[in-house]
Structure 1
Amino acid sequence: MRDVCVIGGNRYFGKRLIARLLSAGDRVSVVNRGSAAPPAGAIHLVADRDDEESLERALGSRTFDVVVDQVCYTPVQAAIASRVFAGRTRRYVMTSTVEVYEHLDSADLVSEDAVDPRTVRVDLGLPWNDPEFLDTHYGEGKRQAEAVLAAGAGGAAFPCVAVRVAHVLGGDDDFTGRLAHYAERIRSGEPIAVPVVNRPATYIHVEEIANFLAWTVGEEFTGVVNAASSGVLGTEELCEVVASHLPGGKVVLRRVVGGRFSPLSFTRSYGMDNARATRLGFAFTKVHDWLPTAVTSTLGRTS
C-alpha cells in the first residue's frame, strides 16, 4: 500500500485521480480548505496550502510516498510546499500546464526541453496573491512554480515531476464551459470569434489525464513530462464535431483581429510532443477517437 497525498483535486480530473488511487488500494490523504469533502475512503486534512503553519499542523507527523499537487499556481506556493514536505515525501508530482509554452510560437509539437525550469527566473516579490494578477500571469506562475521545485528551494530533498497538461475536455462535470460555449453558439447560429490565423492545439480527455497522473504516481521518473493525446485539433474541427451532434446547428466563424476570442482559439500553436511519456511507457489515445464522446457528454448537460 502506498501513502499518497493529494493537494486539492476535489473536482474534474482531480476527483477521478483520487478514485483511481483508492481503487488501487492506496492510502490517500486529501488536503483542502474544507469546502468540499473528498471521496469516501480518503483521509481529509483541512488546511490552507497558502498558510505554512496551517499546512504543517494539518499534516502532523504524516509522511508520504508521493505527493500530487493539483493546485500549485505560484512560486510562493511551491516554496511553501518545498519547506513543508521536505523529509515528508519520497516524490513530488506537480500538475502543470501547456500554458508554460505560451511565449513560444512553433508550428512543430513542442518537447519538454523548450522550457527548462532550471533556467526560469523566479521572482517571489510579484503580487502572486492578487487574483487578477494571477489570472493574467497563469503560465508565468506555473513556470516559476516548476522552477522552485526543480531547484529544491526551501530545502526540498525530494525528486520532483512537473506534468504539463494539455487542454482537458470531456465529462458531464466539465466546469470550464468551453464546449458549452460552442454548443450554444452553433445551436443559435451566433458567430464564433476566432483569430485571423487560428492555430491548433493538443488536448487530453478528462479520463486520460486522470489515468496518466495515477500512472505517474506509480513510476519513478522525474523532471518535466508533457501529457497530451496524440494529434492536434483546430477550432474548426472542434466546431464541426459539435455541429454534427446538433441537427440544424450552424457553424459561423468570425475572424477578428485582437479582442476576445472564443475559448480554445489560439493565435499561437499549443501543440505538445508526448514522446517522452510514450517512451516511459504510457500509451496515449488519439484525440479524434475520443472527441465525439467528449462532445456528447457536454451536450447532454447543456441541452
Structure 2
Amino acid sequence: MNKVCVIGGSRYFGRRVVERLRDAGKAVAVINRGSSPAPEGVTHLVADRDDEDGLRDALGDRTFDVVIDQVCYTPHQAAVARRVFAGRTRRYVMTSTIEVYSSLDSAPVREDAIDLAAQPVRMDLLWHDSEYLEEHYGEGKRQAEAVLAREPLFDFVSVRTGHVLGGADFTGRLDHYVTRMRDGLPVVVHPEPRPSSFVNDREIADFLVWAAESGFTGPVNACSHGPLDVTQVCDALSAAGAGQALYTTGHDASPFSFDRAYGMDNGRATGLGFAFSHTADWLPRVISEVLACV
C-alpha cells in the first residue's frame, strides 16, 4: 500500500490517520470541502463529496491503493463514492459506527447481527436534511454500508467504531458531564442505564490504518475491551476532580446513557490480529486532557 486517499480526515482522529500514513512514507491525498487544511506533507484536494462531477474533476486521473472514507453518512454519498472510485482503488475502508446496532437490545453484538444484503436502501428519504440525518444517523450509516457492500466494485470494509473518546472532545459529550458536575446540576439518565462500547481517539486511528493495510473484507467492530455505562463514565470524571455526579431520570437522557444494551463483540478484529486495549488503560488520560481544556 503506497497511495492512499482519505475522504475527510483533516480533523479529529481522522487527522491522526492521515499523519500516521504520511509518517509511514505513504503518498496521501486528503479530500474535503476546503474548510479545514490538510496536514503538512499531504496532497489537498478540494471537493464536495455530494457533487459527483466536482469530485471526479478534483481527482483527475489519480488512482489509489486504498481509500479511507471518514465522512460517508448516507446511501446517496455511498452511491456517489461507488461510482467515482470504481476503477480508481482496489480497497475501500468506510468509517462506520456502533450506532448501526442502536435498534437492537442484545450484547455483545457481532457483525452478523445486521444482514447488509437484506438491508433496505431508501434513496427517497430526507438524507439531505441535516435534522433528519442527525435523527437517523445509525440508519444512514447502515444504508451507506449496504450500498457499498452489494456487488462490490472493490474490496470493501466497514469499520464499526465504538463511541470515540479523546482529549479533543469533538462531540462535546464529556464536556456536557464536566459542566453539569462542576455546576452541581443533575445528570439525566435512564432508570437502568445499560453499558456500551468505547474506543479512544488514538486507538481508532491505529485501527483504521491497520484495516487499510490488511486484506480482510466486510464489517468489523472496533472497540476497546471493557464496556462502560454512564455512571462509570461519571465516576471516572469525579475521581479526576470534576465534581460529584447527581443523577435524575428523564426522557431527555444525557449522552452515553442508553436504555438498551448494544455493546460490541470485537472478536473478529482480535482474531484477525488487532490487539485492543482496555478502557481502564486510557480513560484516565482522556479525562485528564478534557479537564485541562474545559
Q: TM-score range by the shorter chain?
A: over 0.9
Identity percentage of aligned residues? 56
Q: What do you get for the CA RMSD once the two structures are aligned?
A: 1.0
1:202 partnered with 2:194: no
Q: Give the AA of the match of 1:295.
A: I
Q: Give the AA of the match of 1:234.
A: D
Q: Give the AA of the match of 1:71.
A: V
Corresponding position of 2:95:
95
Corresponding position of 2:206:
211
Say which of 185, 194, 201 aligns to 2:180. 185
1:42-81 matches, within 5 Å, as 42-81=42-81
1:108-127 matches, within 5 Å, as 108-127=107-126
- SS class of match (1:65): strand
Tell me how far apart the structure 2 counterparts of residues 295 and 92 of structure 1 sit (CA, whole Å).
33
Q: Deviations over 1:214-254 (max 9, x none)?
A: 1111101100000000011111111111011117x221011
Give the 4+ runs in structure 1 shifted more than 6 A. none
Tell me how far apart the structure 2 counterparts of residues 208 and 236 of structure 1 sit (CA, whole Å).
23
Q: Give the AA of the match of 1:149.
A: L
Q: Give the AA of the match of 1:179.
A: L
Corresponding position of 1:40:
40
Tell me how far apart the structure 1 counterparts of residues 73 and 172 of structure 2 sit (CA, whole Å).
21
Tell me how far apart the structure 2 counterparts of residues 46 and 177 of structure 1 sit (CA, whole Å).
27
Query: Contact 1:197/1:267 (CA < 8 Å) preserved in 2?
Result: yes
1:267 partnered with 2:259: yes
Tell me how far apart the structure 1 counterparts of residues 183 and 125 of structure 2 sit (CA, whole Å).
43
Corresponding position of 1:286:
278
Residue 188 of structure 1, CA deviation: 2.0
Tell me how far apart the structure 1 counterparts of residues 184 and 239 of structure 2 sit (CA, whole Å).
14
Query: Contact 2:221/2:268 (CA < 8 Å) preserved in 1?
Result: yes
Say which of 277, 291, 294 aligns to 1:299. 291
Residue 133 of structure 1, CA deviation: 1.0
Tell me how far apart the structure 2 counterparts of residues 34 and 56 of structure 1 sit (CA, whole Å).
16
Corresponding position of 2:17:
17
Residue 270 of structure 1, CA deviation: 2.8
1:155-174 matches, within 5 Å, as 157-171=153-167, 173-174=168-169
Corresponding position of 1:151:
150
Give the TM-score normalised by structure 2: 0.98
Q: Deviations over 1:125-178 (max 9, x none)?
A: 1111111111111111000000000014xxx5211000000000022x222111
Query: Contact 1:187/1:246 (CA < 8 Å) preserved in 2?
Result: no
Tell me how far apart the structure 2 counterparts of residues 211 and 177 of structure 1 sit (CA, whole Å).
23
Query: Contact 1:166/1:227 (CA < 8 Å) preserved in 2?
Result: yes
Q: Give the AA of the match of 2:283.
A: L
Query: Any unmatched runs of 5+ in structure 1?
Result: none
- SS class of match (2:64): coil
Q: Give the AA of the match of 1:253.
A: Y
Tell me how far apart the structure 2 counterparts of residues 226 and 198 of structure 1 sit (CA, whole Å).
22
- SS class of match (2:90): coil
Tell me how far apart the structure 1 counterparts of residues 172 and 21 of structure 2 sit (CA, whole Å).
27
Residue 277 of structure 1, CA deviation: 0.2
- SS class of match (2:157): strand
Q: Give the AA of the match of 1:118.
A: A
Q: Give the AA of the match of 2:48.
A: D
Query: Any unmatched runs of 5+ in structure 2?
Result: none
Residue 116 of structure 1, CA deviation: 2.1
- SS class of match (1:20): helix
Q: Give the AA of the match of 1:25.
A: G
Query: Contact 2:11/2:36 (CA < 8 Å) preserved in 1?
Result: no
Tell me how far apart the structure 2 counterparts of residues 229 and 77 of structure 1 sit (CA, whole Å).
29
Corresponding position of 1:233:
228
- SS class of match (1:22): helix
Give the TM-score normalised by structure 1: 0.95
- SS class of match (1:9): coil
Residue 114 of structure 1, CA deviation: 0.2
Q: Give the AA of the match of 1:170.
A: G
- SS class of match (1:90): strand
